[in-house]
Structure 1
Amino acid sequence: MLFKAMRRGFLLFLVALVAGCAGERPLPPPVPVDPVSALIADLKRGSYVFYWRHAETETKGEPEVRNLADCSWQRNLNAEGKRQAAAVGERFRLWGLSVRFIEGSPFCRTRETAAIAFERPVRLNSDLAYHVSQAPEQIAAGVEKLKARFARRPRTPGNLLLVGHAPPLRDAVGIEVPEGHGVIVKPDGAGGFRVVARFSDAGLFPER
């Protein structure tokens, strides 16, 4: 009797086990994460540095630096550049991104780019200035200061936006961007940094 009861219990256990296995469904595949959405979510947490080359400018010679408060001798934004600047500002608003600190080169084209996009005062930073007439050692010093700024995390919460020129960025990170385009840099907290994305009026493009 005992043996029959044990045998019957074992058979019932096997039936229940098979039924349970048959009722299991495979787990659904993981939902792929949109890299742009993931990046935007991280950017909203702050501590990034945005470097934006001024928007498109008019074709005009600019052989030497004069009074930077006087825009008449400078290569200023053309109509397309003003559109670019406004469009990038609108992109930031659509992405829900805020920049707590904005610093710009003292040239009129950089100041105007930031003013059109964000409609707020820009802190002028002579370290961001660049001109072909500068001495090589002056240019090199500016690049080193830019690297140091990229490596330093902005005060949280918030991001830092630097509006400048193409050559210092190229020499600092090895990337040359067209007018109106920029890069997003993430300081690593240990004296280094990496470029995580590029941006323009066309959108946000994470680095692969």
Structure 2
Amino acid sequence: MHRRQAAQALLGMGWASAWNAQAQPVEPVSDAFWAPLRLGGVIVLMRHTQTLSGTGDPPGFRLDSCDTQRNLSAHGRTQAARIGQAFRDAQVRVDEVRSSAWCRCVDTAELAFGRHRVWPPINSFFQQGDREGQTAKAMHSLRSHQGPPNLVLVTHQVNISALTGVFPAMGEVLLARADPANAAGMTVLARRAL
């Protein structure tokens, strides 16, 4: 077999492997994922759930008007409710829920946990805002978070990436703790799409 044919065969196997991996059913979240939450003192970083297509917000969006923002899709609303139910089914106590002021984050928090408090340090800085300043304010507060309460932050990809170095999918849940040894500021203990 020539090198070209061997490369094509390997690429074909790679596509088949990727297809098969995507076709597998989602495994239930293991108890190992929930164990740190049951002990408490965990910071739950959650990216808002699925939105209507697009990136960022439309030109001229306003925080005081959901109609001007990119909002949750019907799937995202269902996804948020499913995440909240997963926490309840796992009997995980959620003590405080903080959210970005963006409607997609507020709606995710309300649909999942039935409450929220807007916390400006986790507002998006994708199109506006101060990445360094907001991240520093968030880390200053999060460094002092100890157990047993669990703290949920519903925010955006850019904020979670700045805090952890991880690029989360919409609706993905990361369990983290502040870590001075981590340049990003937080160490991720586990992550799951629920």
2:91 paired residue number? 96
- CA change 1:151–1:190 in 2 (3 A) is farther
Identity level (%) = 29
Give 1:55's match in structure 2, choosing from 49, 54, 57.
Answer: 49
1:140 Cα offset (Å): 1.7
1:66 Cα offset (Å): 4.3
Letter of the structure 2 residue corresponding to residue 58 of structure 1? L
Q: Distance between the aligned counterparts of 1:52 and 1:115, measured in 2?
A: 13
1:112 paired residue number? 107
Letter of the structure 2 residue corresponding to residue 59 of structure 1? S
Q: Deviations over 1:58-105 (max 9, x none)?
A: 125724464312100000000110111011111111211111000000
1:198 paired residue number? 191
Q: Distance between the aligned counterparts of 1:174 and 1:84, measured in 2?
A: 24
Give the structure-2-normalised TM-score: 0.74
Give 2:34's match in structure 1, choosing from 20, 25, 40.
Answer: 40
- CA change 1:87–1:39 in 2 (3 A) is closer
Give the superposed CA RMSD.
Answer: 2.5
Greater Rg over alpha carbons, structure: 1
Letter of the structure 2 residue corresponding to residue 85 of structure 1? A
- Structure 1 gap segments, 5+ residues each: 1-34, 202-208
1:67-78 equivalences in 2 (<5 Å): 67-78=62-73
2:164 paired residue number? 173
- CA change 1:43–1:74 in 2 (3 A) is same
Q: How many residues are matched?
A: 163
Letter of the structure 1 residue corresponding to residue 143 of structure 2? A
- Structure 2 gap segments, 5+ residues each: 1-28
Tell me the SS of whatever aligns to 1:185: strand
1:86 paired residue number? 81
Instruction: State whether residues 54 and 70 of structure 2, in contact with CA within 8 Å, keep that contact through their aligned partners in structure 1.
Output: yes
Q: Distance between the aligned counterparts of 2:32 and 2:75, measured in 1?
A: 31
